[in-house]
Amino acid sequence: MTRAQERVIRISAKKFEFTPSEITLKKGEPVVLELTTEDVTMGFYAKELNASAEIVPGKVTPLRLVPDKTGSFDFICDVFCGDGHEDMGGKIHVTA
């Protein structure tokens, strides 16, 4: 699969949530997460999938990801963005 054919998933970050907050991917299938925010610098961190990015207001931050295991994995904002930051996160579900 070439990069032009990779599945693109847009994720928007704002105080204090990601939209969508849950996504489903397939093991071994490359995807590009297009991360955006309009208010302040945010982070995207999925420790178990080794995925991390800084999201800067007004820019699209592409994050290429090829899940190598199945399961449900948390992602969080790892850049402090104000009161409510600690509740900002979501789930990535990876199927076979």
- Contacts of residue 52, defined as CB under 8 A and 6 or more positions apart, other chains included, come to 43, 44, 45, 46, 78
- Number of structural domains, the chain? 1
Query: Can you give the pLDDT at residue 82?
Result: 81
Check which CATH number belongs to the domain holding 87 and give it: 2.60.40.420
Residue range 20-59, pLDDT digits in tens: 999 999 999 999 999 999 999 999 999 999 999 999 999 9
CA pair distance 39, 69, nearest whole angstrom: 33
pLDDT at position 4 over 80: no
User: Residue 64 — pLDDT band, cuts 50, 70, 90?
Assistant: very high
Above 60 in pLDDT, residue 11? yes
DSSP state for residue 69 in the 8-state scheme: S
| Structural domain containing residue 17 | 3-95
Tokens of 90: 């979501």
